[in-house]
Structure 1
Amino acid sequence: MQSNNPVFRRSEAFNGSQANAYGNQTFPGNGTAYDGYGQTGVQQGYAPAPTTGERMTVDSVVQKTAISLGVVMLTAAITWWWVGDISSPSDASIGTLYLALMVGSFGAFALSMVNSFKRVISPALVIAFAALEGVALGAFSKFIDVFIVGTQAEGLGNNVVMQAVIGTFAAFAGTLAAYKILDIKVGQKFRTFVIAAMFGMVGLGLLEVVLQLFGTGTGILGFGGAGLLFAIGGLVLGVFMLILDFDFVEQGIAAGIEERESWRAAFALTVSLVWIYTNLLRILAIFSQD
């Protein structure tokens, strides 16, 4: 079961470490093959592979994902409180806000790269990523609430952060329901498109940051028309990323991979949900500006 997703691609359990003479993948340490594409097997062609310990299950993925998201929300709340009230750009707390935003963003990005390409998943690194991501989200949410929406905004502006949180979980539930009810099948072209689009958006975002440092830019990270289009594209892409996550969890369970890989699935789901939240928050903020 080869993957273009970098989160799962480095996993020996998801991809197998070698192939036998008949093209079947084998898991490291047991030598037992499961059926490859186009061959007859159980559960869409993937026969369970024996493991020395417990296997990944839906419950184990849910538990690990709940832990990861819990850490994100906890550190985000702590960061929101730690930054304190900000009424103007001259407040002393503004330095704390930018410090939290920079440390959390760059730290989470670095650990996301490590977790994505690490062959053996580390629960500690997943938790560390979640903690730093929470710091970044807490600071970013405070920034949106104060400087984009405005603390005195009426109606939607007063609850934009909470609505983005609710909207994120609604997107998760809706995507999962559609995936199961419509029995969505993920093909190789779809995987390639989603991963390429994800890296493309990340690359454009980093380029925009560099351009802004030199006093120019395209506005795709701003809160105007270009920023709105970029955020809407990011939101749609986040939903596609969730579909990939659901597919790999389903295939991993069918293949009988080890329970520790639940942490890899939890990391991938956390990344997708954070991606959806940040883009949804930007969209709501754009429509809620003073």
Structure 2
Amino acid sequence: MNSKANPFLEKGIKKSRTLSGDRAMTAKGAYTKTFILLLLLTASFVFSFNRMDSISRTLGDGNTGFGTILVISLVGAFILSVVTSFVPKVSPITAPIYAITEGVLLGAISRFIEFSYKGIVLPAVLLTIAIAIAALLIYRTMGALSGRFVKGVLIATVGILIVNLFSFLSSLAFGIRIPLYEGGVIGIGFSLFVIVIAALNLMLDLDVINKLDYYGSPKYMEWYSAFGILVTLVWLYLEILRLIQKIKDN
């Protein structure tokens, strides 16, 4: 089984070869868990987005309060994602908490961006939903994905991660801003490319779920698989948000 589509899923899949007495997972169960995580993320997102001003004032002045919320939610989401990735058995507990924490983080980021780009959040949410549905429909028509397809998407994904890391380090150390992250044709084209790769990763996640079902992975892998899909959807949303920013700047 080629399962290297999503690095968050890959860690746990290697540890789920045997049932060890657990009931086997099902694809239907994984989709149900995904729906639950999406509900939790949406609820915390809406709460954070609508209440960010009052929460920030409670924690301090505007900028200090917002920064506190951002740091706490960012660190919390990162720790939960790492723990879930390396210890998939705890995913029934950590995945829902991650969804809530990530919702707060996305709500805070979206509220901040909304101040400068009025009306940007709703189109980004709708586009994320539309692309996710399109990826699901395309995958259902394609069936199982070939190994060559999986490797191609994996290479592109790793390449994007390397470029992002290089851009961050160069900006931090030398103050150099790469054109890929600016407005203009190059920046918009790069964002479109990243969105396509994120959508393809979503298809790979769906393929992994079906393979886990086929191989009789442990029941807790339903939550773990749902967690992996949620990570991909968050990535997709943030990239769409960035694309709309670039278009508005342009």
Distance 1:83 1:222, change over 3 A: farther
Distance 1:80 1:69, change over 3 A: same
Q: Does 1:101 align with 2:70?
A: yes
Partners of 2:81 and 2:150 lie apart in 1 by 19
Contact 1:205 1:221 in 2 (8 A): no
Contact 2:2 2:150 in 1 (8 A): no
- Relative to the length of structure 2, the TM-score reads 0.83
The residue number in structure 2 matching 1:237 is 197
Contact 1:238 1:276 in 2 (8 A): yes
Q: Which amino acid aligns with 2:232?
A: S
Partners of 1:28 and 1:263 lie apart in 2 by 15
Q: Which amino acid aligns with 1:279?
A: E
The residue number in structure 2 matching 1:277 is 237
Which residue of 251, 264, 272 corresponds with 2:224? 264
Which residue of 185, 209, 214 corresponds with 2:144? 185
How big is the shift at 1:141? 1.0
Q: Does 1:209 align with 2:168?
A: yes
Distance 1:202 1:254, change over 3 A: same
How big is the shift at 1:121? 4.4
- Give the count of matched residue pairs: 243
Q: Which has the larger radius of gyration?
A: 1
> Deviations along 1:78-118, whole A, 9 cap, x unmatched?
22233228xxxxxx423333333333334323432332233
Q: Which amino acid aligns with 2:177?
A: G
Identity %: 26
Partners of 2:165 and 2:70 lie apart in 1 by 15
Contact 1:208 1:217 in 2 (8 A): yes
Q: Report the secondary structure of 1:216's partner residue.
A: coil
How big is the shift at 1:13? 7.3
Within a 5 Å distance, the mapping from 1:1-290 to structure 2 comes to: 1-5=1-5, 6-11=7-12, 16=17, 27-29=18-20, 52-84=21-53, 92-147=61-116, 149=117, 151=118, 158=119, 160-181=120-141, 183-214=142-173, 215-289=175-249
Distance 1:168 1:197, change over 3 A: same
Partners of 2:164 and 2:66 lie apart in 1 by 21
Q: Report the secondary structure of 1:288's partner residue.
A: helix
Unaligned runs of 5+ in 2: 55-60
Q: Which amino acid aligns with 1:9?
A: E
Contact 1:3 1:15 in 2 (8 A): no
The residue number in structure 1 matching 2:57 is none
Root mean square deviation, CA, Å: 2.7
How big is the shift at 1:71? 2.0
Partners of 2:164 and 2:103 lie apart in 1 by 20
> Deviations along 1:120-157, whole A, 9 cap, x unmatched?
3422221232222212211221122112x2x4xxxxxx
How big is the shift at 1:225? 4.5
Partners of 2:156 and 2:77 lie apart in 1 by 20
Q: Which amino acid aligns with 1:75?
A: S
Unaligned runs of 5+ in 1: 17-26, 30-51, 86-91, 152-157
> Deviations along 1:40-93, whole A, 9 cap, x unmatched?
xxxxxxxxxxxx4433223311221122112222222222233228xxxxxx42
